[in-house]
Amino acid sequence: MQIKTIILGTAGSAPTITRKMPSVAVIYEGDVLLFDCGEGTQFRMLDYGINPVRVKAIFVSHAHGDHTIGIAGLVRTMGMNNRREPLEIFVPAGDERVIQSLITFDRALIGYKIVIKGVRSGVVYSGRDYEVLAFKLRHTIPTYGYVFRETRKLRFKKELAKRLGLKGEMFAELKKKGRIKVGKKTVALSQVTWEQEGKKIVYATDTRPTPSTIVAAKNADLLIHESSYKASEIGLARQRMHSSAGEVAALAKRAHVKRLVLTHISARHRTDAELLRDAKRIFSNSVVAKDGYTLVI
């Protein structure tokens, strides 16, 4: 099954003419999951054809306004579009009140249930054939990264199954029972199947590079990581608890990820050239995302 990822907003703390506030959409079998929801996220969703009613959950990395303010308008638009399904919003435990204030500040009538959940490390959400896990990051306030992980899939060894005489409805029966009789032989499910690892997407912002990210991102298909600064600004990155492009590339290399996408770009950078050069020098399969950057895996 294909997973579509759209980087809706790629700016750091302040927007620019070309970069809007942070948000990432992951779309899987019709489900839309939002990771962060900066100001104007719903406008970017319109730009890229994402129906707000299809959003199953919002995963907030931390309670700074540049990552949360878009929730206020989005939940109201969902109501105007006759949403009835409950919406779950995840935020670091202890900061639930920040999200609650965004929902209730103007006493709008929202005709569906909103459930705000405090996040700690581990599995925080399960959908059909996927789950979302949280892991700790290192910023100025409590912050979490998220892993979208497709569940493992059982695949048949087709040629072997065919040689053993399996056909038609036998496959479904074997999956249900674990073993079946085929002629004079008994065939066990484990004989003719293998487990395919699910695809994995990791989102980490705002943060210093951390060992927890390396663990979470191990062998990931896609790592989306903040890169607020270039290599020559590493002092600022350390002071403000953010990351430089070179540091993130080194992390991606250690984690053996397949692709690195840099986002949360500081407004001080007029072009992507230096950030991209810093990253590619260490990890060749790196991209500096622009708003709307889309990847299907």
pLDDT at 108: 85
User: Which is higher by pLDDT, 152 or 141?
Assistant: 141
Res. 19: pLDDT tops 90: yes
184 and 121 in a single domain? The answer is no
110 and 171 in a single domain? The answer is no
176 and 202 in a single domain? The answer is no
How many domains does the chain contain in total? Answer: 2
77 and 164 in a single domain? The answer is no
Q: Rounded to whole angstroms, how far apart are CA atoms 297 and 295?
A: 6
Res. 255: pLDDT tops 80: yes
172 and 252 in a single domain? The answer is no
Q: Sorting pLDDT into bands at 50, 70 and 90, what band is 162?
A: confident
Res. 48: pLDDT tops 70: yes
pLDDT in tens, 164-216: 787 787 777 777 888 888 877 787 778 777 677 799 999 999 999 999 999 99
User: Which is higher by pLDDT, 180 or 242?
Assistant: 242
163 and 291 in a single domain? The answer is no
Residues identified as active-site = 66
Answer yes or no: are the C-beta atoms of 89 and 101 closer than 8 Å.
no
144 and 219 in a single domain? The answer is yes
pLDDT at 217: 98
Res. 69: pLDDT tops 90: yes
182 and 249 in a single domain? The answer is no
pLDDT in tens, 129-144: 999 999 999 999 999 9
170 and 23 in a single domain? The answer is no
End residue of a domain, out of 167, 193, 219: 193
CATH of the domain at 104: 3.60.15.10
229 and 109 in a single domain? The answer is yes
End residue of a domain, out of 193, 218, 249: 193
pLDDT at 111: 92
287 and 224 in a single domain? The answer is yes
End residue of a domain, out of 165, 193, 221: 193
Most confidently predicted of 12-21, 36-45, 168-177 = 36-45
255 and 109 in a single domain? The answer is yes
Q: Rounded to whole angstroms, how far apart are CA atoms 4 and 295?
A: 6
Domain range for residue 177? 154-193
